[in-house]
A and B are shown apart, each in its own frame.
Chain A
Amino acid sequence: MSRIAGRIATLLVSLAGLLFVTFALGRLLPVDPVLAVVGDRAPPDLYAKVAHDMHLDRPIAIQFALYAAAMARGDFGQSSSTGQPIMSDIARFFPATLELATFAIVIGVGLGIPTAVFCVRHAGRLGDHLGRIVSLLGLSIPVFWLGLVGLLVFYAKLGWVGGPGRTDVAFQYSVPVVTGLAVVDAMLSGDWAAVQDALSHLVLPGGILGLVAFGYVTRMTRGFLLWQMGQDYVTVARLKGLSEAAILWRHALPAATGPVLTVILWTYAYLLEGAVLTETVFAWPGIGLYVTQSLFAGDVPAVLVGTLVIGAVFMLINQCGDLVQAALDPRSRAR
């Protein structure tokens, strides 16, 4: 129990740290935030009034406290480029990233675990080397580059998949938004053509991120399985007369379910970052694209809040992963 409390405390401290960093970065702007609002030619009393409204005349500590309080309330301010409340922008964009990441995870785990098992079965031999190199490849690919190449080959040359964006213009407004996940919404609306369209757009960016996820999952799972196979109880299992295959499937792999669950969670977090670049290349309206678009529009508040949200989700998922890992070990359960 105290462990969980410790983890929650760590999470809160990390969030506070993230909050502080975004606050500090916001204040370190070379641009005068008041001028950004009132313009160059504002009279001094208007300038003073806006400065007061933005709390810029209060001590730094108070400013941070007010900032933190506003964040806690969910009041993230307005985007200077879209004019909308930032929070509603983010709520609109987030599901797209979720859809992308989930698709990638399914591919990553679906391919990654069998590959890891294959590597361990052929440990030290050619199969293992090949598997290792392939998974390392997944981790070394610059996703933005692969996205471009993928679009070139599979969209422009072969026409197998849809182009940038989430859906074709034709379907843009015909499918009611329920979950925010394009494929799910299309399925719910019963429009088969819309489902196909949504999938054809999802396949390429999702597949590319899936490659990254595959690399990550394979490496972690292979490492864990190899570690298990080196344990004393595996030696004893061999002494019992069990075959290597039986040991792998009946002992090492079941022991891996906990760590694999943890790896899945960590991969989600890892993909959040990769999504930023992929979304930029594919014009995929997710939170990563939101951050980069705001960046190019000079909309600093939006960038800061976007970073905050991505960072917070990242932290939350990682902590959950740590928790799951600790919870599934019977040695800690029994205590």
Chain B
Amino acid sequence: MGTIDVLAGSPPFSPLLEIAGLHVRFDGAAGQAAVRGVDLTMGRERLAIVGESGSGKSASVRAVLGLLPSSAVVTADRMAFRGEDLLAVGPNRLRALRGRRIAMVVQDPRQGFNPVRTIAAQLREMLMLHGDAGRGGKPTRDQLAAMLDAVHIRDPERVLTQYPHQLSGGMAQRAMIAMMLAGKPDLLIADEATSALDVVVQQQVLALIDEQVTLRGMGLILISHQLDLVARFADRTLVMYAGRVVETLTHRRDAHPPRHPYTRGLLACRPTAADLGRDLPTLTRDPAWLA
């Protein structure tokens, strides 16, 4: 079952996001539900959710945002953002929150942009929806360029004129991050945001996310299947398996070592120099973990 881990010694905070008893299942699908009782409470901190495909990590956050397909059945004891009960509001309120208060960056940025419109057009659309300029008139070219500049894109003028397929993966993801932060949200969710990028670029993008989140005092949820990668950036990590949170790891020096066999198995699978000449360990799944 899930655990709620309160950081000892930190000042009391009103949680940014509270989820209790979240269940998601898909109508017509055989087998177990996608999410089977997830509890999560976070403040303006960095939370990582780690798990393999099918563990329910993406489904959980999409349930909060109201972005699951219509065949999904979502039930929860509690789902609240900044104290506002998300279970009681309608889809229009959820839509108002998206982009403005909660933003999400997805895996493949080049697919995430409209392929037949320029980057400038798409940034502009976001600013007009949510940015301060939206209340005035059209955002200026300089404002758009400044957005790209803030995510360390060199030559923003040129990038503005380009189409998504003309950008490299890393550049596109930076532009996507710039776009998603335009509404000055309180919470950023990065759903496998670096999985489509190569290793060096992954580090750069994560560092960028880290920097922006610190700068703006936001909460961050990092979703990934790569435990190592995100653990470095996260304050806490939830390990999910088969729709449940099986372990919560805190990354303080005095934290206890991982207890759940799944987590231990994952960590043991990482190859190190000490493994030279030996068979690599593999993860044997215990059906008991599905209970």
Contacts and interface: CB of A to CB of B under 8 A. Distances in A.
A and B: bona fide binding partners:
yes
Given A235-B112, A239-B67, A331 B165 contact: yes
A124 B111 CA distance: 25
A53 interface: no
B111 A233 contact: yes
A261 to B, nearest CB: 14
A235 B114 CA distance: 10
Interface string B33-66: 0000000000000000000000000000000010
Interface in B90-122: 95-100, 103-104, 106, 108, 111-116
Contact of A241 (B99, B106, B114): B99
11 contacts: A235-B112, A236-B113, A238-B95, A239-B98, A239-B99, A239-B103, A241-B97, A241-B183, A251-B114, A329-B116, A334-B163
B180 interface: yes
Given A239-B65, A241-B99, A243-B95, A232 B106 contact: yes
Contacts of A2: none
A233 B125 contact: no
A311 B45 CA distance: 68
List the 7 closest pairs (A to B, CB-CB), nearest first. A241-B99, A232-B111, A236-B112, A241-B98, A240-B99, A233-B114, A239-B104
A233 to B, nearest CB: 5
A71 interface: no
Interface string A216-236: 000000000000000111011
Contacts of B129: 240-242
B111 A241 contact: no
Among A232, A242, A243, find the residue whose CB has the most chain B CB atoms closer than 10 A: A232
Interface residues of A, number: 21
Nearest to A335: B165
Given A233-B115, A239-B104, A241-B130, 16 more contacts: A124-B70, A232-B106, A236-B106, A236-B112, A239-B65, A239-B67, A239-B98, A239-B99, A239-B180, A240-B99, A240-B126, A240-B180, A241-B98, A241-B100, A331-B165, A334-B165
Contacts of B148: none
A233 B112 contact: yes
Contacts of B65: 239
A237 B165 CA distance: 17
B179 interface: yes
Nearest to A242: B129
Given A239-B98, A241-B100, A232 B125 contact: no
A242 B91 CA distance: 12
A332 to B, nearest CB: 10
Contacts of B70: 124
Interface of B: 65, 67, 70, 95-100, 103-104, 106, 108, 111-116, 125-126, 129-130, 163, 165-166, 176, 179-180, 183
Nearest to A329: B116
Given A232-B108, A239-B104, A255 B113 contact: no
Given A231-B111, A242-B129, A255 B116 contact: yes
Contacts of B165: 331, 334
Nearest to B97: A241
B125 A240 contact: yes
A159 interface: no
Most chain B CB neighbours (cut-off 10 Å) among A235, A236, A250: A236
Interface string A231-267: 1110111111111000000110011000000000000
A255 B99 CA distance: 23
A6 interface: no
B163 A330 contact: yes
Nearest to B162: A334
A107 to B, nearest CB: 29
A330 B115 contact: yes
Nearest to A232: B111
Nearest to A255: B116
B106 A235 contact: yes
A237 to B, nearest CB: 8
A237 B122 CA distance: 9
A235 B113 contact: no
Contacts of B113: 233, 236
| A235, A241, A251, A331: residue with the most chain B Cβ atoms closer than 10 Å | A241
Nearest to B125: A240
Contacts of B67: 235, 238-239
A239 B130 contact: no
Nearest to A243: B95
A242 B130 CA distance: 10
Nearest to B118: A330
Contacts of A236: 106, 112-113, 176
Interface string A52-95: 00000000000000000000000000000000000000000000
Contacts of A334: 163, 165-166
A306 B65 CA distance: 61
Contact of B179 (A240, A242, A250, A255): A240
Contact of A232 (B100, B112, B126): B112
A232 B113 CA distance: 8
B31 to A, nearest CB: 23
A330 B99 CA distance: 28
A232 B100 CA distance: 20
A232 B67 CA distance: 12
Nearest to B183: A241
